[in-house]
A and B are shown apart, each in its own frame.
Chain A
Amino acid sequence: MLRSLLFKYQDKKQLYVALLGGLLGIVFTLISLHYLIKVNDFGEEKDALGPNIFIVQKKVSSSTSLNLGVTDFSDEELRFYKEQAFLLAVEPISSNNFAVSFETEDPLVPYFRSDVFIQSVDTSFLDVHSSAWKWNQTDSVVPIILPRDFLMMLNTFMSSSGIPVVSDEIAMDIKFKLTLSNERGSANFPAKIIGFTNEVSSILVPQSFMKFGKRAFGNVNQEKVSQLILESKDGQFGLVESFFKSHHLEAKNAHLIAGKLKSMISILLSTILVVSILAMLLSCLVIIQYVQLLISKTAYEIRVLLRIGYTVRNIVRQFTLYLSFFLGIMCFAGFLLFYIIKQLLDSIILNAGLMIDVSLSFVTIYVITFIFIVFVILTRLNTYRNVRKQF
């Protein structure tokens, strides 16, 4: 009875228009947020090197090939690179200046041996557990990070030998051996893969192992830095690319292109997200205005109810329950519609050959709950303020 008294003058059209606006805002917010997360995760299969990492070297041209230009980095250049605002970190990569061979030493896999290059980078660039990435002379096993291309090569060899190929997990259980040598002698070190990377083409070892190798087997000539590892800030691939271009640096192209595409899609989705949030805010304002109009139309009824003993809270509760019902439907329908569109988009993307993660982002559930709570709180506060005025 109380509800019918308070809502008898309402024109539901305005409420429906506001709810429709809110519904669309919610759908686009969830879609843009969901795909923003998925796009940022896209292509980031578990890599031992963290995200936004580049390995760069100077471009090799005819003149550098003829020793007319330099391909190593000076201390001044290193300092200059470190000063760039879009770069979070820049460090030299240390490479072996002694012979290294890599071989299997496991009775369960066929014998395989190859001469390899090893490199070490600052631990801060690695996305591996620090306790697994350490070595000292008393340790029996050297942790290594293997280039994924190397694993593919290993699998090609396995396959041609009629042996099943190995996954990342199995490869991490195989026993390997590194042999460091020079003209004067050699030493063997059992090795274990603890991660994989797409970003470097050599085997990564801990810095302490590299220092040991250089001390024991290295060339005494002064060491040159020919490669740098650097980390850029999120979404600044454009600046990074133009910097590389203007300073004649080269990095893995695929990584740059993927980064650029991700940046562009992220900007697009962020724009949609902002517009969607604005649409929701607008819808919230219309709902607030609707409540104000409704209260002004039922001002007499509210005033009389307050005079016969009803509390402000009694009346506000009626408005809150009524609007929460519609806001709940709006949020639920918005989420449902988002889910249906997501399924549709996922199938289109998968049919186009792009392997994306199709699972639902939990963030979207938190966001829809948050949106509902914010809408209810805002309408309740506004209702409370307007009903109090009638006292």
Chain B
Amino acid sequence: MNIKLENVLPHPLASMSHSATSIWNARIELFQGQKVIADAYSGKGKSTLIALLFGVRSDYDGTVYFDGNAISTFSMNDWSELRRNKISAVFQDLQLFPNLSVKDNLLLKNQLTNSYSEKEMAQLIERVGLKDKWEQKCGNLSMGQQQRVAVVRSLLQPFDWLFLDEPFSHLDKVNTDICLELVLEKAEINNSGVLLTTLGEDYSMKWDQHLYL
């Protein structure tokens, strides 16, 4: 699934001035399989970009296309279908269920598509260093631990695009590398694109496209 932004300008950013290289009010194309990084200062619209690509907000001018179809025409069922099989995300506020255990958070997501067995999910959690947290409530974990759970949850489905909104902001370098490697590995398997927003960090890797906000 390819993504195209045509003269998109979110309403909250309309009064701000944007540089000539900014993605806002421009024509941008993102191709499936690309690794894309979007970095900018706080308040430039990184989360807004992820939110509008995920169908969470629609307060913008211009048009966003998924494979040539304007996303503003999608119904709620279309979005649910996309969120199950085509797009996945790690939100900045993570959006985990704090009263559920790590295991239940993952099971709730996985039962929609049955992409992984419980054992495989446990292995993914072990890989991000949270083996002993499997039965613990997410609300009792640190922010960094919660970020790792959210990253694993976002991988429990087939996807064409993975949107990551500052997903490693509370992680040390070692854990960031582990998570990023996992993300890229799963993206490779799915032949999917990854769009990652950061506050300037490029994680010492080569990106196919660099977006400026």
A residues engaging B (CB < 8 A)?
1-2, 5, 8, 301, 303-312, 388, 391
Contact = CB atoms under 8 A, between A and B. Distances in A.
B80 A306 contact: yes
7 contacts: A1-B104, A5-B97, A303-B95, A304-B97, A307-B91, A308-B108, A308-B153
A310 B104 contact: no
Nearest to A387: B76
Contacts of B100: 1, 5
A312 B76 contact: yes
B51 to A, nearest CB: 10
Interface in B67-117: 76-77, 79-80, 83-84, 89, 91, 95-97, 99-100, 104, 107-109, 112-113
Given A1-B104, A5-B108, A311 B76 contact: yes
B205 interface: no
Contacts of A310: 80, 112
A311 B85 CA distance: 13
B109 A308 contact: yes
A388 to B, nearest CB: 7
B174 interface: no
A304 B95 contact: yes
A309 B157 contact: yes
B109 A309 contact: yes
Nearest to B99: A8
B77 A311 contact: yes
Contacts of A1: 100, 104, 107-108
A204 to B, nearest CB: 70
Interface string B129-157: 00000000000000000000000010001
B76 A388 contact: yes
Contacts of A305: 108
B54 interface: yes
Contacts of B112: 308-310
A10 to B, nearest CB: 14
Contacts of A391: 76, 79
Contact of A301 (B91, B97, B157): B97
B83 to A, nearest CB: 4
Contacts of B97: 5, 301, 304
A307 B56 contact: yes
Interface string B26-65: 0000000000000000000000000000101000000000
Most buried by A among B77, B89, B112: B112
Given A5-B108, A308-B112, A388-B76, 14 more contacts: A1-B100, A1-B107, A2-B108, A5-B97, A8-B99, A301-B97, A305-B108, A306-B80, A307-B54, A307-B91, A309-B84, A311-B76, A311-B80, A312-B80
Nearest to B96: A304
Contacts of B76: 311-312, 388, 391
Nearest to A305: B108
A309 B153 CA distance: 12
Contacts of A303: 95
A8 B76 CA distance: 26
A308 B80 CA distance: 8
B80 to A, nearest CB: 4
A388 B79 CA distance: 13
B83 A308 contact: yes
Contacts of B157: 309
B95 A307 contact: yes
Contacts of B96: 304
A332 B100 CA distance: 35
B95 to A, nearest CB: 5
Nearest to B51: A307
Nearest to B107: A1
A271 B107 CA distance: 54
A39 to B, nearest CB: 52
Nearest to B95: A304
A125 B80 CA distance: 66
A1 B100 CA distance: 9
A172 B79 CA distance: 76
A304 B98 CA distance: 11
A305 B79 CA distance: 12
A307 B165 CA distance: 14
Contacts of B91: 307
Contacts of A309: 80, 83-84, 109, 112-113, 157
Nearest to B157: A309
A301 B108 CA distance: 12
Contacts of B104: 1
Contacts of B56: 307
A8 B99 CA distance: 10
A312 B153 CA distance: 20
A110 to B, nearest CB: 85
Contacts of A8: 99
Contacts of A2: 108
A5 to B, nearest CB: 6
